[in-house]
Structure 1
Amino acid sequence: MNFRISFLLFALALAGCSSAPTQPSQSQQPIVNQTDDALTEARFSQNLNDLLGQVSQTQEIPLPALEMGFLDAKTVPSIRKLVLPPSGTFKKNWLVYRKRFIEPVRLKAGKAFWDQNQAFLSQVEQESGVPAEIIVAIIGIETIYGRQTGNFRVKDVLSTLAFSYPDTPNKPAREQLFKDQLKELILMCWTEAGGKLPSQNSSQGVNGARFSACLNQNSSYAGAIGLPQFMPSSIRSFAVDGDGDGRIDLKQSPKDAIASVANFMKKHGWQPGMPISFPVQANAISEAKLLADGEPQLKYTVQELIEKGILTKQQGDLQTGGVEPQSKAFIVDLPYPDKDGSDQVQYFVGLNNFLTIVQYNRSYFYAQSVAEFAEALGYRNQSVVPVETSNKINRPTATTEKSKSKKSSPKKKAKTS
């Protein structure tokens, strides 16, 4: 059915159950339809219409409702440019990346955010095992605690990348990824508006204005939403109602964002009390270089890396703490050009918790930045020493040390290097 015909028919029927006025699509930065040509626009509309038809059929959502929600959807050429890979002359620069995120403004904002949510962060840490410093670091790096959540309508972003992704070698895979996210967005918004999906027993009628507002909410240029920048599939799978108001709001509720980040990390294998990463010993750089293959997979045991001189027994209580000698790890390589333009690399050993952060954002730069941001907030990057072991060696446990520091953590002087 044609978008506009079905819209007119469905609008009359839906008007009676929509109590809220439709919100402006994007007040901060209006988006203008700048499609390349009429053929591109026609192809975009047809592909989107086909997807809506599939979703309507498989999820039992009225097609006119979907068509009305996407009536003004458009491609955004600037998004296509933003997802292009860097040029062949571009050099990754870990030092520049780190400086962008581990800097005074974010650290100050992080301590303020911690201070404002200290009780809830402590509660979530106790329940999930994910340190408050890690949660605060992730939200700070993602959006500076809600200051930078994106200025694109999420439905335009996902539609553009699903049906008009730039010509790159991985175009088919990327388009499929964003088609899947577009479907997840529709299901998320339909449920949020009170719609009924086959797996639900809700008897509420759909709120058309709420459905439209959800589709039109702001996102990043990749379709990530809210303080923690969750994609629609992650919102549906891992977001939780932290403040207990009966709904999940990652844009306005810090408690929902905090609880959702912790739940994501827990569900992706965060190991409570375990370290994240350790720098490779200076005299073993060449050995580490041989093992660095860029694959985020736990391959080598801690014992093997100690024997190769890449780690030492003293790092992070590897022998007296909770990290077993057979625990798995991998080599993390962080390249950067020196002042002369020559290629240099900083190497780390990533443990399981480093890999968990990589699941949040598939970037070694990102994961190590989270680790170092957390350390700047007071995170102790070492294993928690078991009680029976601490009694033998007669020294306080890392848990005790952390408990003492947690009470004053918002007032700590942050490390900046």
Structure 2
Amino acid sequence: MLTPIIRSIASILISTVLCTQAVRAQDANKVNFANQQQAAAMAERLQAKEGIPASETLELLRQAELLPQVVKAVQPAKTKSVRNWDRYRNNFVEPYRIRKGVEFWEANADTLKEAEAHYGIPQEVIVAIIGVETIYGQHIGNYRVLDSLATLAFAYPAGQRDRSEFFLSELESFIALCNKTHLNALEVKGSYAGAIGLGQFMPSSWIAYAVDGDGDGVVDLFNSRRDAIFSVANFLKVHGWENGKATRVLVEIERTDNLPELLAPDIVPTFTPAVMQEKGVALNGDTLPDEKLALIELVRGDAETAYVAGGHNFYVVTRYNRSSFYANAVLELSEALKLRRDMLN
């Protein structure tokens, strides 16, 4: 049996080992990104374009930390999973998000009405995007954006398509954004990929599409719902949203011999309604005779695949997130939100 003195010494030794391990783990994340290839060039560009002294940019990068969890998040899964639309849909088109969405809509009804009048974007679509992205601001992300973007710019994992150039560009945009606004680059939190605010704009999108909806001279996508609502609407408008064009149209597949041809363009609207019908796809919704549609495949794991026709505005939603699952979830949620709100009113 250990004596109290021996137990005390053992406890101290264990604590020392644990502390040492913690320090080593912490030190492992203290990569000096300022010494990384391309860092100096980025600092020089920011100095030339934005007037930010190169030394300030490099000092920021010295304070950035490597985030192993971010590296892990962008790595492909060890076992390939089957895409499943039903599982994906259930994450977003579900009772809680619908209820909170109607509450958000009611609380911001005047702003949403103004945004629709100004940009031509249906109110329910704006609400649905903010709902899918952050559940109306409940989950804006807990990663320090400087760390996330520096990690993905300078330590992007090998063994897959290299997107480090994209994240290097976003890191540059983030530093420029913080220089232009009230944001503190050492404090801003967002997603593991560097998306920020209620609508999860990447820094370059904030610079390009965010607007001062409340007219206070500051664009604040974290705290100003009006700024966030107007910015989402502006993003969709700039990317080509057109009133009267289709979003998603329910379909029935009458024959399957033309499916490979119809699916080849993926999300790009390619076929007129008449051509769709000729090739064995019956449309159960309104479309304009000359508009183009894409046949969207919604894989459901081992269950039978579902299909929907994506119109011009479906494609516009994919500019926010280049995924057919994402766009269909947003649009289904928007339909559910409108239905629930109409029922309540």
TM-score normalised per structure 1: 0.72
Give the Cα–Cα distance (whole angstroms) in 1 for the partners of residues 103 and 232 of structure 2: 18
Give the Cα–Cα distance (whole angstroms) in 1 for the partners of residues 344 and 94 of structure 2: 13
Q: Which amino acid aligns with 2:286?
A: D
How many matched pairs? 322
Task: Please say if 1:229 is aligned against 2:200.
Answer: yes
| Cα gap change, 1:254 to 1:42, in 2 (>3 Å) | closer
Residue pairs, 1:178-217, within 5 angstroms? 178-192=167-181, 213-217=184-188
**Cα offset for 1:243?**
1.1
Q: Which whole-Å deviations, capped at 9, do the CAs of 1:112-131 have from their partners, x for residues lacking one? A: 00000001101111111100
Pairing partner for 1:305 from 271, 276, 289: 276
Q: Which amino acid aligns with 1:179?
A: L
Q: Which whole-Å deviations, capped at 9, do the CAs of 1:124-182 have from their partners, x for residues lacking one? A: 111111000000000001000000010001111110000001113311xx000001101
SS of the residue aligned with 1:242? coil
**Cα offset for 1:190?**
1.0
SS of the residue aligned with 2:126? helix
| Cα gap change, 1:283 to 1:36, in 2 (>3 Å) | farther
Task: Please say if 1:261 is aligned against 2:232.
Answer: yes
Pairing partner for 1:220 from 187, 191, 200: 191
TM-score normalised per structure 2: 0.86
Given that 1:33 and 1:75 are in contact with CA atoms closer than 8 Å, whether structure 2 keeps it comes out as: no
**Cα offset for 1:349?**
1.0
Given that 1:139 and 1:228 are in contact with CA atoms closer than 8 Å, whether structure 2 keeps it comes out as: yes
Give the Cα–Cα distance (whole angstroms) in 1 for the partners of residues 79 and 343 of structure 2: 43
Q: Which whole-Å deviations, capped at 9, do the CAs of 1:86-115 have from their partners, x for residues lacking one? A: 344311110000001111110010000000
Give the Cα–Cα distance (whole angstroms) in 2 for the partners of residues 189 and 291 of structure 1: 45
Moved over 6 A (4+): none
Pairing partner for 2:80 from 60, 83, 89: 89
Gap runs ≥5 in structure 2: 1-22
- Provide the residue aligned with 1:412 in structure 2: 343
Provide the aligned C-alpha RMSD in A: 2.4
SS of the residue aligned with 2:141? coil
SS of the residue aligned with 1:344? strand
Give the Cα–Cα distance (whole angstroms) in 2 for the partners of residues 43 and 149 of structure 1: 25
Given that 1:149 and 1:226 are in contact with CA atoms closer than 8 Å, whether structure 2 keeps it comes out as: yes
**Cα offset for 1:307?**
2.2
Gap runs ≥5 in structure 1: 1-31, 194-209, 380-408
Task: Please say if 1:358 is aligned against 2:289.
Answer: no
- Provide the residue aligned with 1:20 in structure 2: none
Given that 2:71 and 2:157 are in contact with CA atoms closer than 8 Å, whether structure 1 keeps it comes out as: yes
Q: Which amino acid aligns with 2:328?
A: Q
**Cα offset for 1:411?**
5.9
Given that 1:135 and 1:258 are in contact with CA atoms closer than 8 Å, whether structure 2 keeps it comes out as: yes
SS of the residue aligned with 1:378? helix
Residue pairs, 1:333-412, within 5 angstroms? 333-337=297-301, 342=302, 344-378=304-338, 410=341, 412=343
- Provide the residue aligned with 1:316 in structure 2: 285
Identity %: 38
